[in-house]
Amino acid sequence: MAQPGGSGALKAPLAIREGSARDRDFVLDLGRRTIASSVSRVRPATPEALEASYARLHDFMYNQSHVVLIAEFAGERVGFLALLVEIPDEVSDAPQGFIAYMAVEPQARRHHIATALLERAERIARKRGLPSLALMVTEENRGARELYARAGFVTERRLLAKML
């Protein structure tokens, strides 16, 4: 695969499109391969548990009102974002767009693909009249936290855990 923006990369533009049924296996596969970045040091998980967890999330996403965005570079799918559009905030019950999962192929990271996915998700949420976007990110995933901060996300709540 050509590297977006890397040396020797094809001069193809990044495309973000709405996903279709033919992208479902790609979303499942990439999610399974990247779910480890969602694991906390506090509650480690086995590879089998992670795979089962992502499969449950994948099924949940596809059984809700959602939009899947697919990032393509040089004709290849390199990332996705799953946006739930009818899941209200659990505290205020206010409408929101909820980013259930986003992933970029490891070899395609650091080329603004995630930023482009977030920007498109925000446009979709605004068009649907949703007043906010929300997501969860693991504390240890510094790169993702920095990406979200640059995109204007702020910490609203914290999930605390204690091992017993």
- Segment 105-119 mean pLDDT: 95
Residue 156, pLDDT > 50, answer yes
pLDDT, residue 159, reads 87
% of the chain residues with pLDDT over 70: 93
CA distance 145 to 51: 23
Please check whether residue 66 is in contact with residue 83, taking contact to mean a CB–CB distance below 8 angstroms. Answer: yes
Q: Is the pLDDT of residue 101 over 60?
A: yes
How much is the pLDDT for 10?
A: 36
Which pLDDT value is given to residue 7?
Answer: 41
* Domains of the chain, each with CATH number or no CATH: 14-150 (3.40.630.30)
Listing DSSP states for 56-89 in one string gives: HHHHHHHTSSEEEEEEEETTEEEEEEEEESS---
Instruction: Work out the average pLDDT over 20-49.
Output: 93
Average predicted confidence (pLDDT) for the chain: 91
Q: What confidence score (pLDDT) does residue 41 get?
A: 87
Give me the pLDDT at residue 104, please.
Answer: 97
Longest CA–CA separation in the chain, Å: 53
Mean pLDDT of 83-106: 96
pTM of the shown model: 0.89
**pLDDT at 8 (0 to 100):** 35
List pLDDT tens digits, range 117-154: 999 999 999 999 999 999 999 998 999 999 999 999 99
pLDDT value at residue 24: 96
Q: Report residue 59's pLDDT band, with 50, 70 and 90 as the boundaries.
A: very high
pLDDT value of residue 87 = 93
